[in-house]
Structure 1
Amino acid sequence: MQILHLDSSILGAASVSRTLSSNIVARLVALHPDSKVIYRDLASDPAMHLSGNHLAAWQGAGSPDAELTEDLFKGNSYLQELLESQIIVIGTPMYNLTIPTPLKAWIDRIALVGKTFQYTANGPEGLLKNKTAYIASSRGGMYSPGNPGAALEHQESYLIGLLGFLGISNPAVIRAEGLAINAQFKDAAIAQALQEIAAIGA
């Protein structure tokens, strides 16, 4: 089994989402010792955002730009890694009410018609139906259902919708929120999330 592990926080070792995602992967590997883990740090090694030059290259125009050519190969690797993985673990903080831009850049390389979804007479159909996903989510405020900020939440809801669009239904969300309220609240939120991770597969 192959596990694709993505991190997108810019905070490095201080990142809560990275702590959660690494613990999820460790738990999954403990449950499936023969697993192969593919790791992508999207924050430290991001893909370029899509441009007209990308589209031109995809349509056969070629690319005289070495940086763009390298980036096109990176996007192809992103797609192949996803297609070959049975489990996807996505570490994502909330930045300005949504996901970090390097994670969006990754999504723009793997959400491809004919590869990960298709359009049919009955609407779009995801092509990644036999995969499992975990979202390791962190955020400074309280945005889960029932909180005043819930209507502004476009982080987890976006990823859940996107994964469903690609055929990956019911991703598990492990969340630590309210991290900026105070130290005690932060510690309790992280402890609760780690407890949920320890229960995966139990």
Structure 2
Amino acid sequence: MYLRKYIMAPTKNNLSAVLYGINDLRLEQRPIPVPKDNQVLLQMEVVGKDVKNLKLDDRVAIEPGVPCRLCHYCKTGIYHLCKDILFCATPPDDANLSRYYVHDAKFCWKLPDNMSLEEGGFMEPLSVGVHACKRANIKIGGVCLITGACPIGLVTFLSAKAMSDFKIVITDVLDVKLKMAKQLGADYTLKIEKNMTE
């Protein structure tokens, strides 16, 4: 999940999902992390003393990757290419599958009051889809192929549909995902079999 809401009353319960290996996902209690001065504790009670852009009870969406901010990529605005970026995903970072999680405040974005938490949870994946369509220069007339009807594939599809009149083909290995893509308005769906050849 890419969004948390600050809460006022802390709990000692920080149940966390931790991936130890393939087919080895465990639930365990972990200590509630303590934020540094430039971090926030999400689902939270505490904001670091240097945080000015957020306050208690703000609802936020996060950018899951926090770069070093010192390398050439970071300084030239393409920080997603940073080699030292810490991405909150499991593995290596199990923390975002916990009830409490600390994250750099500069990579937390306050949700507007008219946006639900459910809508806010889609901001980061949707930004991936919009960025992909802009990079592919999707505008008017043509065909777009999206490989994979996973959440990122589907928001990329929705972005392409909103930005163009392209015919959209979406592929996947699972029928249930292709059915969802078709329900959302994909022009064509194609199931890829595991042993498919030319």
The TM-score range, normalised by the shorter chain, is: under 0.3
TM-score under structure 2 length normalisation: 0.26
Q: Which has the larger radius of gyration?
A: 2
Larger helix proportion of the pair: 1
Which fold has the larger relative contact order, with Cα–Cα distance below 8 Å and residues 6 or more apart in sequence?
Answer: 1
Larger strand proportion of the pair: 2
